[in-house]
Structure 1
Amino acid sequence: MKLGIIKLSVLITSVLLLAFQPAGKKPIKVYLIGDSTMSIKDTRKYPETGWGMPFAHFFDEKVAVDNRAKNGRSTKTFLSENLWQPVLNQLKEGDWVFIQFGHNDESPEKVGRYTTPTEYKTNLTRYITESRSKGANPVLLTPVARRSFDASGKIQETHGEYSDLARAVAREQQVPLIDMDKKTQQLLQEFGPEHSKLLFLQLKPGEHPNYPNGVDDNTHFSELGARLVAQLVLAEVKAQNLPLAERIYKPDPK
């Protein structure tokens, strides 16, 4: 009899302790939509790295980063190829959508991808309003800078009107803006014309088996470049006090 009472007391105590435990962090998803500067890369393309790859590793265990960015996509083709609808179908209240396009939208020579300034704004606005319709939190990012310096060693603007258009949409829609064009220009200027090569897919012939003839790419990132760009995004999430900042992993100081 006494043993039964003891067992019952232990059970009641356990239930009460569980009841008064602080609520765990809610599982959420962070969706990334954009182009090749953000996307996951095939191992055959290594060391090319989209900044969304390291970005995924900086959050607590209940945050899942779902990187849907695709090489060569613009705001137009991400819609026309039905890449957006599956994301929209899965969005839940409290999720996040990081939206970064521009490299392919702004290039008239890229037939099928090119998006007029008006279309670009319309498409960005659609991603924002449809994300909000599901209770998700959209974040707009200007496109990352290309590595382009003038003769005096000053970094050049490579997106022009399209970064301005993204900024305008952010103002009009009152959505958080992470100005990655400006942030990455500052990063490249700090590294300078020569050392900034370390941030991009720059390899000499024979330096890597995936690129036996070498590669001179001033748009796509190396592992180092992708990580530093991801850290810029995370720093802005914190600086703007976005609620997502609370879910960024805090490393053990040991």
Structure 2
Amino acid sequence: MLYSQVVSVLVMAASAFAAPSSDISKRAQTVYLAGDSTMARASGSQTGWGVYLPYSLSLTVVNKAIGGRSSRSFTREGRFDEIINAVQPNDIVVIEFGHNDGGSLSSSDNGRSVCGGTGSETCTTTYNGVTEIVHTFPWYLTEAGKAIIAKGAKVIMSSQTPNNPWETGSFLYGDGGRFVGYARDVAKALGSNAMYVDHGGYTANYFKGIGKAATDALFPQDHTHTSPAGADAVAKAFVKGLQCGGGGFLKGFVKNATESIPGTCL
């Protein structure tokens, strides 16, 4: 009797191990972050907002942002490819660039500046002794977005965070600059598997609300990089923009209620 019971248990166990993994457990979505130093982990008196985003989400967040990168250098170094290879269906990738994408493609090319234009325009440059065909900011974001979506994942195009808008002594923030508009337009062109969050607008709105002295305190070294407290505030501004838009692909995974986050819906 005992022998037959043991055999039955072993048979059931073997059947369970042979079953497709989807029959046993469902995989949780993962959120990947692609960006520059304003998003990346740092140390000391400054760090990026991507460090604090996990506190607002119930999903795993993998921060692939790295300082000093642009849409161009992130592509050239294979960092987008790393994310594209890792994502699985229903994962979400937040892409935010712009701080390092400007500049000139000249003899002093820093390897980050993009080609001017909004589409398929190209420029030829020499970087580190190697000839490189440089594309536009929208092209780099679009190519990455299409490849991510082709893997069954979703894309959130996020506008770049602003430099300290109180730097001149009075509050100054317009439309955020050309890279903000490019990110918005790319998200729209990618279709239903992409969405846009005006992170720059929501961050600037928060800084406006707290005033010059409190904002200045969040930029301990320069006008671009925030302190840990500033990074936390900037992360909440992203969540504010997300929640004010209905949550999008992260609806149901955000721990913060819209009204609990400082600032107003734009």
Report the equivalent of 1:95.
91
CA distance in 2, matches of 1:110, 1:176: 32
Q: Deviations over 1:51-87 (max 9, x none)?
A: 0001022222xx2111000100000000111111111
For the Cα contact (< 8 Å) 1:51–1:230, is it kept in 2?
yes
For the Cα contact (< 8 Å) 1:139–1:177, is it kept in 2?
yes
How does 1:32-111 map onto structure 2 within 5 Å? 32-41=33-42, 45-60=43-58, 63-108=59-104, 111=110
For the Cα contact (< 8 Å) 2:49–2:235, is it kept in 1?
yes
SS at match of 1:140: strand
Report the equivalent of 1:221.
226
Amino acid at match of 2:158: L
How does 1:173-192 map onto structure 2 within 5 Å? 173-174=190-191, 175-192=194-211
Q: If the length of structure 2 is used for normalisation, what is the TM-score?
A: 0.73
Q: Deviations over 1:31-58 (max 9, x none)?
A: 00010000011xxx31312100010222
For the Cα contact (< 8 Å) 1:31–1:97, is it kept in 2?
yes
Q: Deviations over 1:85-114 (max 9, x none)?
A: 111111100100000000000233762100
Say if 1:168 and 1:117 are closer, same or farther in 2 by CA, change over 3 A. Answer: farther
Report the equivalent of 1:161.
178
User: CA-atom RMSD, angstroms?
Assistant: 2.6
CA distance in 2, matches of 1:198, 1:25: 44
Q: If the length of structure 1 is used for normalisation, what is the TM-score?
A: 0.76
For the Cα contact (< 8 Å) 1:121–1:165, is it kept in 2?
yes
How much has 1:225 moved relative to structure 2?
Answer: 1.1
Report the equivalent of 1:249.
255
CA distance in 2, matches of 1:144, 1:182: 8
CA distance in 1, matches of 2:232, 2:26: 26
CA distance in 2, matches of 1:127, 1:26: 24
Q: Deviations over 1:148-171 (max 9, x none)?
A: 337561223495212122222122
Amino acid at match of 2:50: G
Q: Deviations over 1:215-245 (max 9, x none)?
A: x311011111111111121223223232423
CA distance in 2, matches of 1:185, 1:31: 24
Q: Deviations over 1:99-151 (max 9, x none)?
A: 00000002337621001243101011112111100000100001000013375
- Pair 1:194-2:194 in alignment: no
Say if 1:152 and 1:104 are closer, same or farther in 2 by CA, change over 3 A. Answer: closer
- Percentage of matched positions with identical amino acids: 27
Say if 1:150 and 1:55 are closer, same or farther in 2 by CA, change over 3 A. Answer: closer
Amino acid at match of 1:65: V
For the Cα contact (< 8 Å) 1:100–1:141, is it kept in 2?
yes
How much has 1:187 moved relative to structure 2?
Answer: 1.5
- Pair 1:231-2:232 in alignment: no
Q: Deviations over 1:161-183 (max 9, x none)?
A: 12122222122223311111211
Gaps of 5+ in 2: 2-23, 118-135, 258-266
For the Cα contact (< 8 Å) 1:117–1:162, is it kept in 2?
no
Amino acid at match of 1:102: G
Say if 1:151 and 1:122 are closer, same or farther in 2 by CA, change over 3 A. Answer: closer
For the Cα contact (< 8 Å) 2:167–2:223, is it kept in 1?
no
Amino acid at match of 1:226: A
